[in-house]
Amino acid sequence: MGDPIRYGIIGSGMMGLEHILNIALFDDAVLTAAADPFPKSRERALKVAGHELELYEDYRDLLAKAPVDAVVVCTPNFTHADVLADVFQTDVHVLVEKPLCTTVADCRRVEEAAARHPGVVWVGMEYRYMPPITRLVEEARAGTAGRLHMVSIREHRFPFLKKVGDWNRFARNTGGTLVEKCCHFFDLMNLILQDRPVRVIASGAQDVNHLDESYAGETPDILDNAYVIVDYAGGTRALLDLCMFAEGSRNEQEICVVGDAGKLECFVPESTLVVGRRHPKSVATETIEVEERALKAGFHHGSTYYEHLHFQHAIRTGAAPAVDATAGLWAVAVGQAAEQSIAEGRPVALRELGVGDLG
């Protein structure tokens, strides 16, 4: 296995702590350092790690001084572009949490810099690694549903949690809900359909959540529900149904893929895959097992563990990242187009955002 991969965590809030818990599950990886400007966050990182760490207030000191081979960037969305610019002055490998950045323009700059970076640059689209979703993608790639025509994704869940400094209450900091939260789902649509999105039309609003909150006299402006339709260059289409005041749901995520030969569905956290075939008609349900230790090490159905497994494989073998900066850019582009579609009440072509002249 070689020497352990030495990790540093940049940003030890909720997601940073989840990465710490998952790194601890690997015998051939070790957390050596953490950086966060808030003392309580550094203290939590030390407590969760359960062993000595080099702690830094400024992540740039970590990059300059800490014994690390790879860093995980878990800072607020609007800081990613600047943090990555500093990471790219080193040769360390990096896993940056989603979204890659809050705007297409910043994502473009990161994409260009990532292409020159000697280390692995991996975007944290961990929903790809939820085992039921992984199985659905495998079946879609294997042709089980035939030629694909439609993808629909429903996320009905709880409201956004509070973050340090309440930065996630404002679209200017997050990119907006459809970038911040839903880049995961647009990435899955792109992955499943293996095509480029060309047009987005969306309807959404802030109807329930955070309306009674005020921060320095400002009311939060983040959407809490939306429908988003995405058209693809090859003629396929996808739909997102998002509701963030739907705690009373049996499943948080439901994904459906339909082709000319059948239908694939998966459900999380139920952790089931349903395969339906047209001729002869049949429907079969399979329970997808997830390692218990992975389930206990976070809030994303074990996916963070499997994401690190693949990230480490790329580091050790020199393989290309499975989720590169280009994938991160396209996911943000669809989210930004959806936010713009809602704001302006019209369809938005992706070429308007400068991400290709497709259709």
127-241-237 Cα angle (round to 5): 85
CA angle 153, 174, 48 (to 5 degrees): 90
- Residues 74-129 have pLDDT tens digits of 999 999 999 999 999 999 999 999 999 999 999 999 999 999 999 999 999 999 99
Tens digits of residue pLDDT in 24-37: 999 999 999 999 99
208 part of a folded domain? yes
pLDDT at 66 over 90: yes
Whether 271 is in a domain gets the answer yes
pLDDT at 359 over 50: no
Length of the chain counted residue by residue: 359
For 318-356, the pLDDT digits (tens) are: 999 999 999 999 999 999 999 999 999 999 999 999 986
Q: Give the count of domains, the chain.
A: 1
Average pLDDT value for the chain = 97
pLDDT number for residue 30? 98
Q: Specify if 159 maps to a domain.
A: yes
Q: Tokens 């002869």 identify what position?
A: 280
**pLDDT band at residue 2 using 50, 70 and 90 as cut-offs:** confident
Strand runs (DSSP E) across 114-236, as ranges? Answer: 121-124, 148-156, 197-205, 225-232
Mean pLDDT, to the nearest integer, of 49-68?
98
Mean pLDDT of 155-164: 95
Residue 311 located in a structural domain:
no
As a whole number, mean pLDDT of residues 254-268 equals 98
Query: Does residue 332 form part of some domain?
Result: no
Domain containing residue 169: CATH number? 3.30.360.10
Predicted local confidence at residue 1, as pLDDT = 54
- Tell me what pLDDT residue 107 has: 98
pLDDT digits (tens, 9 = 90+) for 198-257: 999 999 999 999 999 999 999 999 999 999 999 999 999 999 999 999 999 999 999 999
Percentage above 90 pLDDT, the chain = 97
The answer to the question of residue 230 being in a domain is yes
Host domain of residue 137: 127-297+345-353
CA–CA separation, 234 and 7 (whole Å): 41
| Amino acid 357: pLDDT | 53
Amino acid at 29: A
Structure tokens, 309: 């497994």
Q: Is the peptide bond before 321 cis (omega within 30 degrees of 0)?
A: no
- Residue 8 within a domain: no
Is the pTM of the predicted complex or chain greater than 0.85?
A: yes
In a domain, 314, yes or no: no
Question: Coil, helix or strand for 147?
Answer: coil
